[in-house]
Structure formats: C-alpha cells, structure tokens
Structure 1
Amino acid sequence: MEIFNQANVSFILGGFANTIEISVLAIIFSLLFGTILAMVKQYGPKPLSLLVSAYIELFRCTPNLLWILFIYFTVKGDYVFTSVLSFTIFTSAVMAEIVRGGFNSIPKSQFEAARSQGFGFFGTMWYIILPQTFMVIIPALFSQCTTVIKDSSYLAGVNVMEFMYTTKVVMAQAADLSQVLMLYGFMFALYFVLNFGISLIVRAYQRRVVAAA
C-alpha cells in the first residue's frame, strides 16, 4: 500500500494547516494578554502586581499539557477554541516575563521625557515604551513562537486534528517499518522547515540591528 497517496497527504497537510492556525492565534492572544500582565506587574498597584505575579508563577511552574487536559475536559467549544485557550493562558505567563524584561531595558528617563511632553501613562506606553520594548524582545518572542509550534504536538493527546495527530492516524495504516520512518521523516521535515524559517528571520533581524548600531 502506498502510504503517501493523495488522500493521506491531504489529511496530514490539513493537520499541518490546523497546527499553524492554532499556533498563530495562540501566539497573538498570548502576546496581547502577556503584555497586559507585564504592564500590571511592572507598573500596576501592589495588590494587582502581586496577583499577576502569582498567575505567572502558577503557569510557569506547571506543565503546558496539564492545562491542555484541564481546558479540554472542562470548557465547551470546538477544538480550535479550546486549543487556543489552553495555550493562551499558559503562554501568556511566559510572554509576560519576556515583555517585562523588555520594559526593564528601557531607561526610566523615557517616562520623565514623555511626561514633560504632556503624555499620560497610556500614551507613554503606546507611543514610546511599547515600540522600543518590542524592538528589544523580538528574538525572544520568535523563540517562544517556535516553542508554541512544537508544543502544539501535545494536542495530539486529546485527539485534536493537528499535525502530529493526523500523521499518527496515517501511521496506523503503515505496512512496514520503512513507511513509518518515511512518515516520521515527513513530519520532521515540515516541523524543521517551519521552525528553521522562523530562526532565519530572527538571525536576519539581529544582523540588521547590529549593522545599524
């Protein structure tokens, strides 16, 4: 039996497309929520800062798979919603620390200069602090993006139709070890191309920053 027939390849690539969709949505929402968490922890009132710190430590000190299982069994919704939600609540804690590290690299004099020009807190953050912060943390953000893409394979454990799961389904049809190895090689190649492509973007950006300095 030809394992790489049109139906199987389409099925596997459909899972790969779902992996990309879930990962992109999770990264976007995690970055947005993580930025808010970082702002509250860094600049918010003490009670809220402590609450956010507790949230961040809770998710940084527990495995992602735990929250995938928790959301899967407790939240109603389609697989995209539950998958994105589980990754967002977990990854936003990591994003928050990345963004906060960027905040720490910005001189406090930036706030004073903005205040002297009549900017309020949110205007200062939006127009001055956040643009500089994201320029600083781009390499770390892209690194976290590759982590999200790789960790999306955990979703196969709850039968989400992502890349790992669809490949496993086709693998069950393999007639011999050579077909299994070909499927593993195919899966390796697509994961590698996607994540290595992201790493090349980061390297190009870093070279550009160095050249401009």
Structure 2
Amino acid sequence: MKELFTSTNLSFLLQGLWLTLYISFISIVLSTLIGTILAVMRNGKNRFLKLLSSIYIEFVRNVPNLLWIFIIFLVFQMKSTPAGITSFTVFTSAALAEIIRGGLNAIDNGQTEAGLSQGFTNFQIFIYIVFPQAIRKMLPAIISQFVTVIKDTSFLYSVIALQELFGKSQILMGKYFEPDQVFALYGIVAATYFVINFIISSFSRRLAKRWEQAAE
C-alpha cells in the first residue's frame, strides 16, 4: 500500500487534476458567455436569431455529451485537449442557455418598463437591472451544471484518451493489482472530485444566502 502513495504517483495524479480543472474552467467560461448570448437570442424579437438559437439549443442538449466528444474529436480531427474543451463548451452552452433563459423570464416585465421610463436603453436595462436579478435566481442551477462539467471530464479518457484525473488513475491502475491498492486509488480520485465539487456547491449556497439576506 505504501508504494502507492509515492511522491511520483501523487505528482502524476496532480497533473491529471490540473488538466481536469483547466478543461472545466475554460469550458465553463466559454459556455457561460455563449449560453447567455443564446438565451438572449431565443428571448429576442428577431425571428431568425430566435429560430437559430432554438435549433441549436434543442438539438445539442438532446444529444449525449459523449457523442459530441466523439464527433468533435473524429470529424474535426482536433487534438485531445482542444477537443475536450470544445465538446464540453458546445454541450454545456446549450444547457446553460435554457437555465439563463429561465432566469431572465422570471424577472417581471415591469422592471424593463421602469427602466425604459427612466431613459435606459434595452442593453442598459439588461446589464444593470434584469441580469443582476436573474443571476440570483439561476445561480443554484448554473453551479449544478458547473459541477456536472467537472465530473463529466472523466469521460474524456475512455473516449479520446485524454489523461485528466480519472485517466491518470486508470494508467496507474495498470501498475497495481491488489484489491486494497485498487480501492485506495479509486478512493483518492473519488475524494478529490467530492472535495472540489463540495467546495463549489458550498460557496454557491453561501453566496445565494448572502444575496437573499441583502435583498431583505
């Protein structure tokens, strides 16, 4: 068992963890930006943009993310890391678009009318009035989607051999065959995913509670 917890093995796993967090962070940032644009397009009055965003959202989110990883890696012949980031961005942006759209629709139209009466443009109303209120309502669902992204990066090794955290653990598994070693290794990986996602979820709950208290 001791030979499993060497500095070399731990460093090896940390490299995988870094790649997991890197792919997740870039995908989440890009997905949030694209998802917001798609949500605004689908809520807008331009019929073409509304139709375009609706087709993208409904088609992408109803196809498994695993398939998008295959498609982007094989069809577009990308390297593993860019393919991972692109596939997660494509899929997550569609999911976030619906979450964001739901949050925007939860804001009373009176807020927009009040902004227009004060001389604000539609863009200013969205940035300063509607979106700040909507983000408070959709934050739990958005964070839940972020957690899903981090967990689902474990697909990448089996699909495109990308050596993220789970992939690194699978490689190490080839060196250790004893049951206690296998359970220990999987325990380390499971605990790592749990700690990261628990911290993110706890931060989300605290932030939502703080916003709720500030609004009272």
TM-score (normalised: structure 1): 0.94
SS of residue matched to 1:52: helix
Contact map agreement 1:3 1:173 (CA 8 A) in 2: no
Q: Which amino acid in structure 1 is aligned with residue 21 of structure 2?
A: I
Aligned-pair CA distance for 1:167: 0.6
Structure 1: gaps spanning 5 or more residues: none
**Alignment partner of 1:103 is 2:114:** no
C-alpha distance in structure 2 between counterparts of 1:60 and 1:6, whole Å: 41
Alignment partner, residue 195 of structure 1: 197
SS of residue matched to 1:83: helix
C-alpha distance in structure 2 between counterparts of 1:78 and 1:173, whole Å: 27
Alignment partner, residue 94 of structure 1: 95
Structure 2: gaps spanning 5 or more residues: none
Change (3 A) 1:172 1:44: farther
Aligned-pair CA distance for 1:91: 0.5
Deviations 1:54-95 (A, max 9, x none): 111111211000001111112344433221111011100110
C-alpha distance in structure 2 between counterparts of 1:117 and 1:81, whole Å: 46
Deviations 1:76-132 (A, max 9, x none): 444332211110111001100010011111111121122222222222212222222
Percent sequence identity is 42
SS of residue matched to 1:161: coil
Alignment partner, residue 176 of structure 1: 178
C-alpha distance in structure 2 between counterparts of 1:202 and 1:5, whole Å: 35
The RMSD of aligned alpha carbons is 1.5
Give the ranges of 4+ consecutive aligned residues of structure 1 lying more than 6 Å apart after TM superposition: none
Alignment partner, residue 154 of structure 1: 155
Alignment partner, residue 33 of structure 2: 32
Q: Which amino acid in structure 2 is aligned with residue 85 of structure 1?
A: T
**Alignment partner of 1:67 is 2:55:** no
